[in-house]
Amino acid sequence: MNHAYKVLSHIILSLIKDQIDDILPDSQNGFRSDRNGDDNTVQLQWLVERVHEEGRRVLAVFIDFKDAFSSISHSFMMKCLKDVGISRKIRVIISEIYKGAQGSVRLRQADGSYEYSKPFEISRGVLQGDIFSPLVFILGLSKLLKQSNLQQHAGARISTIIPSKIVSSEYVDDASFFF
């Protein structure tokens, strides 16, 4: 990615970050300010300890989406951005970036030289190395998890003293649901 594109990418991120961050569930800790994967680990450890202390059981379902970053469709990403109110101008810019996405296969020949396949259109996946793509990805994943209704059925009560429930914990493309 050239320098001009990196500057554009930073501008896009600054324009969409707060808007997307406000609607992401608190359980998603990936690519968010002041959060990291350790938060999920500590939460899981704490939940297991509380449940164990009270002699109860909890079922944890762990999901790791295979090839997650390369599987999300561009049209779905655009719909997610529209649904959360990202301006049409920004959506058009992002759409144009993805519309022009192409790939090719590089093969190393026996003599050490490289041969490239004909370029092909890429209609799925976020751009590798792009600074705003991970945020757009977790927005899409959050929408999919919400549509699955899995979160409505999940929820492990923390303790008999504390009435709240921990439903799920996500870090980028990994999710845990507690029952």
What residues does 28 pair with on adjacent strands?
170
Handedness of CA 134, 135, 137, 138 (dihedral sign): positive
Q: What is the pLDDT of residue 11?
A: 94
Report the distance separating Cα 100 and Cα 59, nearest Å.
44
β-strands 114-116, 60-64 pairing: unpaired
Is the overall model pTM greater than 0.75, yes or no?
A: no
Q: How many residues does the structure list for the chain?
A: 179
Q: Which amino acid is at 3?
A: H
Q: What mean pLDDT is predicted for residues 126-152?
A: 78
Identify which of 126, 130, 163 has the alpha carbon closest to the alpha carbon of residue 1.
130
Q: How far apart are CA 156 and CA 60, in angstroms?
A: 9
The phi and psi torsions of 171 (rounded to 5 degrees) equal -135, 100
Structure tokens at 154: 């999940």
Q: Name every residue whose Cβ is closer than 8 Å to that of residue 73 and which is 6 or more positions away in sequence.
A: 123, 124
From 178, 90, 72, 92, select the one nearest 134 (Cα to Cα): 72
The arithmetic mean of pLDDT across residues 55-69, rounded, is 80
Cβ neighbours for 112, distance < 8 A, ≥ 6 positions apart: none
Q: Has residue 106 got a pLDDT over 60?
A: yes
Share of residues in the chain with pLDDT > 70 (%): 87
Note the pLDDT of residue 158: 46
